Chains A and B, each alone.
Chain A
Amino acid sequence: MSYYKPKFQHPKLPKNELGYTVADYDGAVSTLCAGCGHDSISGAIRNACFLSAIPPHRIAKLSGIGCSSKMPTYFLGKSHGFNSVHGRMPSVATGASVANRDLIYLGVSGDGDTASIGMGQFVHLIRRNVNMTYIVANNGCYGLTKGQDSATADLGSVGKYGVKNPFDGIDLASLAVLQGASFVARSFSGDKEQLEPLIRAAMAHRGFAFIDVVSPCVTFANNVGSTRSYAATRDNLDAMPIDFVPMREEIRTQYKEGSSQTVTLHDGSIIHLHKASRKYKPDSREDALMALQTANRTGKVLTGLLYLDTDSQDLNHTLALATKPLNSLGKDELCPGSRVLKSINEGLR
């Protein structure tokens, strides 16, 4: 296997506003199986951060355990990273976000890490509305341990060994909507045109942004009968395309009237949703749940921005925590002294 990527680049590789090329957002060469959907998600994250011109050192990557959780090594090699215990990335992310609210947090997890061992942590992360982007690379199987069905595998989906899954799968997107997540999206690793703007929008969103990404396991679930193979996902894909325009850019694309709707984020960035003819309202939890249930019943993979609350307030705001990262506070602020302690104690008498 090649662990080395040549240093030569296209001499005309475009640069973003920071003067970086997309290659500056590269990580190490992936050690995942060739053709893994996860690598494509890594590529989409890399491209999204490049396009949004986010300085790599302002991003912190967090993950748990699993094929998915190896991913952060393979993108944003110049960002911060924390590879935590299995299913416990939410606690680490919560702590990190509270300690340094200025970093951009990007959690990467898998269906096992989120829907099995990490389920308890996941729902509380949503409930607390921690300001982060949480991507699940969802392949419906445990690729790292030879492809057993995971908790999100669809009922009746056939694994590589020919056995049908006898259980209903957990639909993480529905769960996130139901649990009150302020940004819920679903996408497909093979659809970067949609995934990239979704990641950019999620990173611009204030609060918890969840993206469930169908990511075929090329080794253990890309067979006939698997509902999450490249072919089956494409056959059943019902994609709602979106565009993302950051606040500082002018809108260049012309949209036909009635063909799209726009959503403005708290920072002035704009999301354009196409296929608006379905009268889909992304600010309605009921509509989102209805659409997801209908898609699930008909075997469709509905992708796009499913739900968005633009007025969301994140954990730091809700708890009225320090407005600056703790590491920027001085000794006097962190330890105000016995006089302040005394006045607090007095207040409690």
Chain B
Amino acid sequence: MQATDTTNPEYFHKVVDCQYACPAHTPVPAYIRLIAQQRYTDAYLINWESNVFPGVLGRTCDRPCEPACRRGRVEAEPVAICRLKRVAADFKDEVADMLPKAGPPNGKKVALIGAGPASLTVARDLAPLGYEVHLYDAQAKGGGFMRSQIPSFRLPESVLDEEIGYILNMGISTVFNTYVDSMAGMLTKGYDAIFVGSGAPRGRDLPKLPGRKEADANIHIGINWLANVAFEHTKEIGKRVIVLGGGNTAMDCCRTSRRLGGEEVKVIVRSPFADMKASPWEKEDAVHEGIPIIDNHVPREFVIEKGKLVGMTFDKVEAIYQEDGRRDLVSTGEDPVFFPCDDVLIAIGQENAFPWIEKETGIRFTSWGTPIINDDETFQSTRKEVFFGGDSAFGPSNIITAVAHGHKAAVSIDLYCQGKNLSKRPPPHVTLVGQKMGIHEWSYDSIPITDERKIVPLEDLKKSLNDRMVEVELGFDVETAFIEAERCLNCDAQTVFTDANCIECDACTDICPTSCITFTQNAPEGELRNKLLVPAENTDQDLYVSGTLPTGRVMVKDEDVCLHCGLCAERCPTAAWDMQMFLYNMAKATPDLVDVK
């Protein structure tokens, strides 16, 4: 195997599993350390630079970081990263003065269509550079999906207003209450670039299911219904509610129903419970609120009596998995099942829709209805001054993905407006600094604690079901946050190996608590993985391979379950091992937005 090239920052980037998994590459361990040091404001600023909405995401993020967390591979549960983010937002001081202001005008003007997380990110990244930013949205307030689809018992409006306010206060011109109905029209308005962040607004329906038309008054499309609740057009629902679908929107629909008068609320989903798209914790929260989730039931018919919806019938199925991983839902042959209900919420997915983008604009679409985009770095459409991001680019995803798109699109727009080559991307901002404080002392808490994951306290169930504005999760207090923060393994404290210093004394191999380090003859990767002290079966994780050492062997470190405890470096007599703090910030249009020492 080739010796590992650690001068390529992508190697160590991948070692920091949480940050690598985060679409916006938030430096997670760095801000968790700041939380442990009670530096909540600094922790917030680091977050804000990367993910723009720490308070929102600390409550609602899909948390791709947590399944990736290394801690989950050495014990039962990952670090509660998402809820620690909320701690930073909850306990920070006033930050408005520490955030960047609009830069001196640079003469360029951009339009952002849709005021959701993607557009807001573009606005924030471009405003300090002096761009004149016009933000269009059909609604009266910014936030897009974050405002219309996420119920307030999960995300209080005040948090959303605060974080959107930080951006709008950077001199953004808002054009709200304005539905953009023609891209061709927008293209004549003299913008240097246009960004489309209008989301994936159409909820999928079941138009062909018998009875759909007749029962229309009591059938609602999930995301539209949630938006109507958020904007207070809808204030109640029938006592018996069926929610169709197994994603996070279905979970929001059923829990909102419970707060709007729904007493017997059921989720009915086609797939097996384990295959449902909803995050495990969202399913748990729904079950906690007394909502049964009935799986393996495919909708068959809306049942109408005297012109009114009285229930639905379903076919029972079971999932058969093919060898290639494909899943077939096969009827069990049992009789259809009837569930009575007053209302049905359909939350079975979303579709893209761009009826307002005319063919003659030259913006072309795939057969799936998504825009044809240069690549997932530039986000440039087939019309060079038009860029897409968020759900409107590749279909429904989540807030943090929209933010990541926004960062990249802002870089592209900035390069485009300067007449530069879009494919020459600016490099990430990277530092790698030794952490040695003394012979056996490091500048971070190197020894992993054994505490188990802390549970976030919840509001009293009765109280929260009575009022949809009451936030269900109470967030960690600072004492709990400290313990949870200390659970972080500091994966950004990298084990850096210098071949030339190694005298092959085996001290690192002997001390390593998780048996990560082996000195052996080099071999092709597959073979090497098998002959380590503990075979490296997790191929998602890299092997760190040194150059050939004096005995002809190589040092091989399996990154999989390294605790970053620094014992290898402490027991190394020649400092061939060193613990070096790795900071990686993905490239943004405006570098160094915040100043955290």
Residues of A within 8 A of B (CB): 1-2, 4-14, 22-23, 29-30, 33-37, 39-40, 42-43, 46, 189-190, 192, 216, 218, 222, 230-231, 234
Contact = CB atoms under 8 A, between A and B. Distances in A.
A335 B513 CA distance: 50
Listed from nearest, the 5 A-B pairs whose CB atoms lie closest are A35-B573, A43-B510, A1-B440, A35-B505, A40-B506
Interface in B542-579: 550-551, 561, 563, 565-567, 570-574
Given A1-B570, A5-B567, A11-B74, A34 B535 contact: no
A8 B74 contact: yes
Interface in B410-468: 439-440, 446-448, 450
A6 B510 contact: no
Contacts of B330: none
Contacts of B509: 43
Given A34-B570, A39-B571, 7 more contacts: A5-B513, A10-B516, A29-B567, A35-B573, A40-B510, A189-B505, A216-B505
B515 to A, nearest CB: 5
B75 interface: yes
A127 B297 CA distance: 83
B505 A6 contact: no
A35 B439 contact: no
B443 to A, nearest CB: 15
B507 A39 contact: yes
A23 B513 CA distance: 8
B2 interface: no
Contact of A218 (B510, B514, B573): B573
B563 A8 contact: yes
Interface of B: 73-75, 439-440, 446-448, 450, 503-507, 509-511, 513-516, 534-535, 537, 550-551, 561, 563, 565-567, 570-574
Contacts of B505: 35-37, 39-40, 189-190, 216, 218, 230
A34 B503 contact: no
Nearest to B513: A6
A6 B565 contact: yes
B510 A39 contact: yes
A37 B561 CA distance: 26
23 contacts: A1-B440, A1-B570, A2-B446, A2-B567, A5-B513, A5-B567, A6-B567, A7-B513, A9-B514, A9-B515, A11-B74, A14-B534, A22-B515, A23-B513, A33-B573, A35-B503, A35-B505, A36-B505, A36-B507, A37-B505, A39-B507, A39-B510, A189-B506
Contact of A10 (B439, B447, B450, B561): B561
Contacts of B537: 12
Given A12-B537, A13-B534, A35-B572, A6 B563 contact: yes
A8 B448 contact: yes
Nearest to B566: A2
Contacts of B75: 8
A46 B514 CA distance: 15
Contacts of B563: 6, 8
B549 to A, nearest CB: 10
B537 to A, nearest CB: 7
A29 B573 contact: no
Contacts of B561: 8, 10-11
Contacts of A43: 506, 509-510
Given A5-B567, A8-B563, A42 B513 contact: no
A67 to B, nearest CB: 14
Nearest to B447: A4
Contacts of A234: 550-551
B535 A12 contact: yes
B503 A231 contact: yes
A2 B515 CA distance: 18
A40 B507 contact: yes
A226 to B, nearest CB: 13
Contact of A190 (B504, B571, B573): B504
Contacts of B574: 35
A13 B513 CA distance: 11
A34 B572 contact: yes
B442 to A, nearest CB: 9
A35 to B, nearest CB: 3
B571 A35 contact: yes
A6 B506 contact: no
Nearest to B439: A1
A35 B507 contact: yes
B513 A9 contact: yes
A171 B247 CA distance: 75
A13 B74 contact: no
Contacts of A8: 74-75, 448, 450, 513-514, 561, 563
Nearest to B534: A10
Contacts of B439: 1
A14 B533 CA distance: 9
Contacts of B573: 33-36, 218, 222
A29 B440 contact: no
Contacts of A34: 507, 570-573
B283 to A, nearest CB: 26
A2 B447 contact: yes
A48 to B, nearest CB: 13
B548 to A, nearest CB: 14
Nearest to B509: A43
A94 B103 CA distance: 85
A42 B422 CA distance: 58
A2 B507 CA distance: 14
